[in-house]
Amino acid sequence: MLQTGLFDITMRIAADYKFILQLFRQPLRFEYVAGVVVKMRTGGASNRSLKAILQKTREDYQALRAANMAPLRALLIKNISKIPQFFSHRG
């Protein structure tokens, strides 16, 4: 039985991220799936403004701490990986 806890609705932006981190902490078997499973558009609530970006970063930090992961390293990698979307002209 999964012991992930509930979906944390107190987080306005990173609730799904926290839930996924909790899932990955479970003794589950994961398999690689070749191909695109989900394609998301750029933008959204987390990139709408500087205030939203700061809130997302705070919530991501809290989620990473709750999952006992190294939050500063993970945040750096996550945020650097998002830089190209600000230069993309595709939807």
- Amino acid letter, residue 69: M
Residue 71 contacts residue 61 (beta carbons within 8 Å): yes
**Residues 12, 45: Cα–Cα separation, whole Å:** 9
Domain ranges of the chain: 15-86
pLDDT range class, residue 4, cuts 50, 70, 90: low
* Averaged pLDDT of the chain: 81
- What integer pLDDT is reported at residue 83 of this predicted model? 77
- What integer pLDDT is reported at residue 34 of this predicted model? 94
| CA 83 from centre of chain | 15
- What integer pLDDT is reported at residue 49 of this predicted model? 78
pLDDT range class, residue 3, cuts 50, 70, 90: low
pTM of the model: 0.68
Proportion of the chain in helix, strand, coil states, percent, rounded to 5? 50, 0, 50
Alpha helices in 5-49 (DSSP H): 15-24
